[in-house]
């Protein structure tokens, strides 16, 4: 057992390293715990062992105990199987949201409590405070690094037991703190993309689990202009990887994915980055999760993000009897994507969010029904 009051999720990256450092410097009793969430699949791309060595080195430098837990089975069943099912259905899931809910703030929290800890801490860029008896999830001070979008599924139980020690820092300052403290991760490159894919080609990776299913690429008016390897390899608004050459009668301009018909295996593309086929003013979601435990009202105005790092967009929200949302925007939104999350804010306070089911874009139903709206 650990005598530490706080267990920090040490990932082997600079953010979690500084989170642990700040807790130690504040006088907290701290231990580190490294989570292995993905088993090496034989491709040689898994960085877990390198990250684990870095996490051990950080804990050694700080003089705190190191613990290890393998959550790869839980990750597979709680995150990755859902990831594959969503892509097979033509949607674009966000595994980071599920990983936070199912692994980092569930199994990790349970593991910390087994070590007799009172709190957990991570290197996420977000903040937590308390107002009117409620714990609140807040955006980070560094809005460019804010990760509250990925944390919107946290509730009162998780927020009350969590610390975000780097939420007040800007990234440049954080790296300076790590360098001055001699942390071995101070100049380590930030991880990007989906954690279990790493530096690999996304289509090649997904093709191991969802075999290629070639089909037609068409314009919205039905002109066949090429072939795709599988509609599930693409997401709305995507430009890269379409491999469309010159098309007779069409300008030499980039093409964008504007719709996916899973039923008929057709990928729809257009050449206008603001194509009307990509624009929507209304979305409908799965039942929402609220950080406070309940919606602020049946109808209310706030701001929303439908993708990470998107600028805030004013909206009006209506909450149905079944918990599903209808979110209406005064300005058309580009490439709002089923499977992604709509996350709602009042200023810096994250209210919660939900998975997007469909929109009123012309192909807003296509990922699930195969028909244009």
- In DSSP notation, 187-242 reads TPPPP-S-TTTTTS-HHHHHHTTS----EEEE-TT--EEEEES-GGG--TT--TT-
Show the DSSP H helices in the chain as ranges. Answer: 14-25, 48-62, 72-75, 81-88, 95-99, 108-114, 156-160, 171-180, 202-207, 366-369
| Positions marked active-site | 99, 195
Bridging pattern class, strands 66-70 and 30-36: parallel
Q: What are phi and psi of 121, to 5 degrees?
A: -140, 150
In whole angstroms, give the CA distance from residue 20 to residue 28. 10
Return the C-alpha torsion angle 176, 145, 147, 131, nearest 10.
Answer: 80
In whole angstroms, give the CA distance from residue 367 to residue 373. 11
Half-sphere exposure of 260 (CA within 13 A, CB side): 27
Among candidates 186, 156, 173, 166, which has minimal Cα distance to 124?
A: 166
In whole angstroms, give the CA distance from residue 135 to residue 192. 29
Return the C-alpha torsion angle 7, 9, 15, 18, nearest 10.
Answer: 20
Among candidates 354, 338, 357, 343, which has minimal Cα distance to 288?
A: 354
3-state secondary structure of 84: helix
In whole angstroms, give the CA distance from residue 156 to residue 81. 27
Q: 131 and 326 in contact (C-beta within 8 Å)? A: no
The DSSP 8-state label assigned to residue 77 in this structure reads: I
In whole angstroms, give the CA distance from residue 150 to residue 307. 10
């Amino acid at each position: 057992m650990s005598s530490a009051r706080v267990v920090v999720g040490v990932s082997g990256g600079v953010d979690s390293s500084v989170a642990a450092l700040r807790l130690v410097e504040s006088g907290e009793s701290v231990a580190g715990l490294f989570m292995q969430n993905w088993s090496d699949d034989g491709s040689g791309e898994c960085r877990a062992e390198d990250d684990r060595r870095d996490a051990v080195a950080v804990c050694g430098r700080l003089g705190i105990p190191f613990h290890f837990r393998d959550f790869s089975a839980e990750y597979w069943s709680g995150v990755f199987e859902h990831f594959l099912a969503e892509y097979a259905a033509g949607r674009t899931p966000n595994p980071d949201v599920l990983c936070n809910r199912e692994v980092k703030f569930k199994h990790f929290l349970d593991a910390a409590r087994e070590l007799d800890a009172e709190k957990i801490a991570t290197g996420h860029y977000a903040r937590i405070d308390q107002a009117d008896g409620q714990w609140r999830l807040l955006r980070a001070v560094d809005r460019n690094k804010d990760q509250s979008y990925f944390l919107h599924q946290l509730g009162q139980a998780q927020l009350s037991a969590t610390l975000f020690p780097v939420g007040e820092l800007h990234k440049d300052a954080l790296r300076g703190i790590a360098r001055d403290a001699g942390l071995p991760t101070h100049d380590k490159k930030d991880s990007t993309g989906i954690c279990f894919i790493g530096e690999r080609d996304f289509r090649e990776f997904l093709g191991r689990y969802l075999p290629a299913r070639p089909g037609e690429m068409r314009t919205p008016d039905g002109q066949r202009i090429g072939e795709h390897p599988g509609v599930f390899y693409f997401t709305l608004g995507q430009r890269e990887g379409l491999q469309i050459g010159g098309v007779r009668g069409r300008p030499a301009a980039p093409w964008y994915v504007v719709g996916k018909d899973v039923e008929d295996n057709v990928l729809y593309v257009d050449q206008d980055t603001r194509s009307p086929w990509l624009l929507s003013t209304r979305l409908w979601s799965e039942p929402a999760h609220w950080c406070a435990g309940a919606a602020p009202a049946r109808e209310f105005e706030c701001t929303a993000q439908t993708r990470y790092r998107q600028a805030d967009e004013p909206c009006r929200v209506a909450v149905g009897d079944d918990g599903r949302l209808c979110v209406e925007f005064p300005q058309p939104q580009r490439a709002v994507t089923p499977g992604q999350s709509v996350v709602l804010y009042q200023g810096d306070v994250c209210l919660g969010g939900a998975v997007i089911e469909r929109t009123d874009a012309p192909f807003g139903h296509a990922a699930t029904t195969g028909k244009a709206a």
